[in-house]
Amino acid sequence: MRRKRIYGGILLALFVALMVGGFDLADSRNAGGFWSGLHRIFDFPGEVLGEAAEKIALLPAHLVTYLPALIETINIAAAATLTGALFAILLSLLATRGLAKWPRLIPVFRRVMDIMRAVPEIVIALVLIFVLGGGPVPAMIAIAFHTAGALGKLFSEVNENADIKPVDGLASVGATWSQRMWLGVIPQVSPNYVSYALLRFEINIRASAILGFVGAGGIGYELKNAMSWGQGKYDEAAAIFILLFLSIVLVDQLSSVVRHKLTEGRAA
């Protein structure tokens, strides 16, 4: 216990030192000092809310105007989540000990998932926008790429807890690898798959909105344009914020209900 406390104290001191050093470095390289500008932190939100309050009568029309962009953002997130989840299932099965088709390649598939998780979506989107041009397709591919790596890691951990007896039984009657996975493993782990995929869908909605700032379409692109114009367009920015907030809350509540039902069904 004494050794663990010593190690814990050392790690805590190291963490605090890194945080302080990182903050000082970032503050010194920033265009303005953090402490000197702290008193102005609420100036911009105040301007947005003030202008939105003055033009409150235009808010319903703005909500209707930007609703198609919100639907586009949700579609990007949904397509990316579905595509990434399908690739994640394949990668996770190939990277799970006892289930992999090529056991010697398990480290290779795990490193592939590590790389896919390590590269941020915005970096992939910028590269794809340079190649494919602006629009929802680069955003969908970028988010799906990152989702496959993130969900693949989670799915692999779920696969390790699956019962191997059905797989062995299918192998004894001559089933192929894909048949063993589809009939022996997927039925056991599918509730966890769906639960993690829904959680990732919430994250991808926010990611698709952020990617709109780099020209990937959706409601993020409209928000960037509204904020770039500055005063006079802040009421539109406020409407976009409201739409984005409501959509995230709604999806979060719906996915929470579905995950809860899946958990109850699995427990039963």
Write the pLDDT tens digit of every residue in 163-221. Answer: 888 888 988 888 888 999 998 899 888 888 988 898 899 889 888 888 887 777 788 88
Q: What is the pTM of this model?
A: 0.80
Q: Name the burial class of residue 195, with classes exposed (0-12), middle (13-18) and buried (19+) by CB atoms within 10 angstroms of its CB.
A: buried
If phi over 0 gives left and psi between -120 and 50 gives alpha, with beta otherwise, what is residue 98?
Answer: left
Average pLDDT over the chain, rounded to an integer:
85
Tokens describing residue 20: 């302080």
The domain segmentation of the chain, as residue ranges, is 47-264
Phi, psi (5° rounding) for residue 220?
A: -65, -35
d(CA 40, CA 48): 14
d(CA 223, CA 220): 5
For the domain 47-264, what is the CATH code? 1.10.3720.10
Position 27 scores a pLDDT of 76
Residue identified by tokens 């945080």 is: 19
Tokens describing residue 186: 């997927």
